[in-house]
Amino acid sequence: MGHTSVRSASPKINGPRLIERLDLLASIGRDPRGGMARFSYTPAHAEACVLVAGWMSDAGLEPSLDRVGNLIGVGGQRDSTAAAPAVSAGSHLDTVPMGGRLDGALGVVAAVECAQTLRDAGAVLRHRLAALAFADEEGNSFGIGCLTSRALIGELPDERLQEIRDRNGTAMAQRIASWECPLPRRAAPPLAAYLELHIEQGPRLEAEGLDAAAATTIAGISRTTITFEGRANHAGTTPMSMRRDALWGASALVLEVRRLALASSGEAVATVGRLEVEPGSTNIIPGAARVRVEIRSGSESRLSGLRDDVEAAAHALAREFGLNVRFDIWDHMGAEPLDERIRALAMEAAGERGLRAISMPSWAGHDAKILAPHVPSGLLFVPSKGGISHAPDEDTDPAHLAAGAQMLLDTLLKVDAHFPN
């Protein structure tokens, strides 16, 4: 087949093939309770890598694993060298427990579909093309989100791989070394740009009847544990007026966190996802209660301001109920703007396909957030049915999945044409 120009109309992706491959990938790592349980450095992860690596080979990409198990397929343009930067697309292969079949998987399979479509059309890029399948984005294995994309951009030297441990105390380096995945190992290529297609994981696109979005920024996240300390005592003999019940302060803070987030007029969200009570008996007044607070916002000033408000509320509640309060160090990741050029090209691509698309912030974290300070990065969304994600009922209409993959390909071609190589 002769080569076609990438500056002509973009070739059309194969929607049925995309859906079939998503279904095949979803057959690996099923959770017996429902949904997906495909965790990093497990046999299911290895099986998924082998499956996707086969698709990469069919698409003209050379698959391999980097030092932390990221699956990377690289294809060369004419006269390319190993040092030439690659335009790239991808996402992650791991899931949360009882997770959905599209979170992460869509971005990986769509990236391979883009490469396959280009090969089928005989199209040649100015850059090399890379499809990325990150190993550990969800943080389920080691408690650190976007772990292997951090490694890709150099944030995790070898000594850190010895220090990071899973819930059983096994070092990440040991988990990787003992992981049986029959694929070659080689270093990741330099990247000229990175694009990630993802389900929205929220309700906005579906509610507004939209087809797609290009993200402007990825929200910052601040998390901490706030501990209220009172006095454990007999639940029957201690008068209500003489109690120092730590759970009174913690439970009141849960509602205060809600009130503060609602007062942000949609600029922030806040969640208490964990509440621990000690000693945890029905006939003992709680002597301690720990509240895990998470705040997200696309505005750094809003994020820091809400964090200060939560601390002030906790101190006020401690005084009201006669408690002591202490704070763990805030785990803070600031909001990260995405590449404006890529966002504009993505919106242009959507318009050319007649898609109803908007620009919007991402409230969920993604590998694109980690890469963005180092590599020009973009993030594309398609609707999530009912706004559901991280759950077995996670779903997106097949037409939207295909449209998102097409938008990804069209944007990749525009990036290839406009970015230096």
Q: Residues 363-389: pLDDT tens digits?
A: 998 999 999 999 999 999 999 999 999
Q: Domain limits of the chain?
A: 15-218+335-418, 220-333
Residue-level pLDDT at 6:
42
For the CA atoms of the chain, what is the radius of gyration? 24
Q: Among residues 227, 310, 240, 236, which one has the least CA distance to residue 271? A: 310
Residues 278-329 have pLDDT tens digits of: 999 999 999 999 999 999 998 889 999 999 999 999 999 999 999 999 999 9
Q: How confident is the model at residue 82 (pLDDT cuts 50, 70, 90)?
A: low
Q: Chain-centre distance of CA 346, in angstroms?
A: 20
Q: How confident is the model at residue 245 (pLDDT cuts 50, 70, 90)?
A: very high
Task: Domain 220-333: give its CATH code.
Answer: 3.30.70.360
Residue-level pLDDT at 290:
97
Residue-level pLDDT at 79:
52
Q: How many beta carbons lie within 10 A of that of residue 271, not counting itself?
A: 15
Q: Among residues 196, 200, 213, which one has the least CA distance to residue 92? A: 196
Helix, coil or strand: residue 178: helix
Kindly state the average pLDDT of the residues 231-244.
Answer: 98
Q: Is the pLDDT of residue 193 over 70?
A: yes
Residues 17-59 have pLDDT tens digits of: 999 999 999 999 999 999 999 999 999 999 999 999 999 999 9
Q: Which residues of 147-157 are buried (b: 16+ CB within 10 A; e: fewer)?
A: bbbbbbbeebe
Residues 123-170 have pLDDT tens digits of: 989 999 999 999 999 988 998 889 999 999 999 999 999 999 998 999
The pTM of the full predicted model, rounded to 2 decimals, is 0.86
CA atoms 226, 202, 411, 23: torsion sign:
positive
Looking at 3.90.180.10, 3.40.630.10, 3.40.50.300, 2.30.29.30, the CATH number of the domain 15-218+335-418 comes to 3.40.630.10
Q: How confident is the model at residue 331 (pLDDT cuts 50, 70, 90)?
A: confident
| Secondary structure (H, E, C), 388-406 | CCCCCCCCCCHHHHHHHHH
Non-local CB neighbours of 265 within 8 Å, separated by 6+ positions = none
Non-local CB neighbours of 152 within 8 Å, separated by 6+ positions = 66, 68, 70, 134, 188, 370, 371
The C-alpha atoms of residue 156 and residue 356 are separated, in whole angstroms, by: 40
Q: What CA dihedral angle connects 191, 374, 131 and 176, to 10 degrees?
A: 110
Q: Is the pLDDT of residue 8 over 60?
A: no
Residue-level pLDDT at 24:
98
Kindly state the average pLDDT of the residues 197-208.
Answer: 97
Q: How confident is the model at residue 5 (pLDDT cuts 50, 70, 90)?
A: very low
Q: Is the pLDDT of residue 9 over 90?
A: no
State the residue for tokens 């779903």.
Answer: 395
Q: Is the pLDDT of residue 1 over 50?
A: no
Residue-level pLDDT at 81:
59
By mean pLDDT, which of 14-28, 57-71, 76-90, 229-243 is the weakest? 76-90
Residue-level pLDDT at 143:
85
In the 8-state DSSP scheme, what is residue 380?
Answer: E
Helix, coil or strand: residue 335: coil
Non-local CB neighbours of 154 within 8 Å, separated by 6+ positions = none
